[in-house]
Amino acid sequence: MSLSRRGRRFWKEWQPWLHLPLLLFAFLFMMPILWMLSTSLKAPDDIVRDLASVHWMPHPATVANFQDVLGKVEEFPVWRWTGNSLFISLTTTALVLIVDSLAAFAYARLKWKGRDIIFAVLLATMLVPGQALLIPTYLLVRSLGWFDTYAALIVPAGAGTFGVFLLRQFFQAIPQELEEAARIDGCTSLGILRHVVLPLSLPALAALSIFTFIATWNAFEGPLLFTDSMEMRTLPIGIAIFQGRYSTEYGPMMAAATLAAVPVIIAFLLFQRHIIKGISLTGMAGR
């Protein structure tokens, strides 16, 4: 007993010191993002002014880089790319939410022939690396006439199984009695999904929405391969194009990177509780 108490007292005294390494790591993890912001606000000669020491504060701070990036509308339609990213991310999220909650309901709460076999097939495809699907999906998209359209960037995302697993797990935990009571009151299956199951699964729906939104916003391989006109590109591809042309203009490049990163960072900070809970519950990062 005395040993336990001594151990605990020792821990209580020393545990706050753990904040030192944690804060050091926190600083290291934030440095790249802070440096991106810092460079994006610096004038060209300020960026290379003093290479003997690190200077964080832009002197003077300027928004010229952002004006530069946003001003080259002909060459770099950044607003259009932002619009594309936003539209694709929102519609993909809506599609995934609808399709996956219907499917998850079928796998979690309904009994039908073939259910378990099909679910096993869904599970097995988790081992398929996404890269292996790029070439066949590219040809498929072409033959459907979807190349360089929004459909090519939205519809294939509905095939994912992550959301079905996530929602199924939640739907299974909802007490059977609630469903039976609703059925006695004359509720159809669709009614039960809408009025009983979905309202009780809001945390899971929130987690799935934000995962899908961020994953679509950041998607790289799909938009790279399934589009080719400047008007149909998304922000990440736009950033890569920008880097290819202006590889030495770091001010505008960091401004463009900031423009692409800030919306997801804000979305993350707003919903971080749901994201972290979702990852901890499902054991998947949704990527």
Q: Which of 107, 165, 171, 226 binds another protein (CB under 8 A)?
A: 107
Told to check if 122 binds another protein by CB under 8 A, we report: yes
Residues 6+ apart with CB under 8 A from 212: 89, 92, 93, 96, 97, 157, 163, 286
CA distance 55 to 57: 6
Cβ count within 10 A of residue 72:
15
Minimum distance from residue 67 beta carbon to another protein (Å)? 19
Q: Characterize 167-200 residue by residue with b for buried, 16 or more Cβ atoms within 10 angstroms of its Cβ, and e for exposed.
A: bbebbeebeeeebeebeeeebebeebbeebbbee
Q: Which of 41, 106, 166, 197 binds another protein (CB under 8 A)?
A: 106
Residue 51 main-chain phi, psi, to 5 deg? -90, 5
Q: Which of 134, 174, 178, 182 binds another protein (CB under 8 A)?
A: 134
Residue 261 main-chain phi, psi, to 5 deg? -85, -35
**Among the candidate windows 59-67, 170-178, 200-208, 236-244, which touches another protein by CB under 8 A?**
236-244
Interacting residues with another protein between 145 and 164 (CB under 8 A): 155-156, 158-161, 164
**Quick check: 205 and 97 in contact, CB under 8 A?**
yes
Minimum distance from residue 68 beta carbon to another protein (Å)? 16
Told to check if 128 binds another protein by CB under 8 A, we report: yes
Residues 6+ apart with CB under 8 A from 99: 158
CA distance 165 to 198: 15
The residue among 64 and 267 lying less far from another protein, judged by its C-beta, is 267
The residue behind tokens 């939104």 is: 213
Interacting residues with another protein between 253 and 272 (CB under 8 A): 253-254, 256-257, 260-261, 264-265, 267-269, 272
CA distance 135 to 142: 11
Told to check if 53 binds another protein by CB under 8 A, we report: yes
- The first and second tokens of residue 153, run together, are 């960037």
**Among the candidate windows 44-52, 72-80, 170-178, 179-187, which touches another protein by CB under 8 A?**
44-52
Told to check if 79 binds another protein by CB under 8 A, we report: no
Choose among 220, 211, 199, 208: nearest CA to 165.
208
Told to check if 98 binds another protein by CB under 8 A, we report: yes
Told to check if 181 binds another protein by CB under 8 A, we report: no
Told to check if 121 binds another protein by CB under 8 A, we report: yes
Q: Which of 204, 237, 255, 274 binds another protein (CB under 8 A)?
A: 237
Interacting residues with another protein between 195 and 224 (CB under 8 A): 214, 217-221, 224
CA distance 43 to 59: 8
Q: Which of 43, 86, 140, 206 binds another protein (CB under 8 A)?
A: 140
Told to check if 35 binds another protein by CB under 8 A, we report: yes
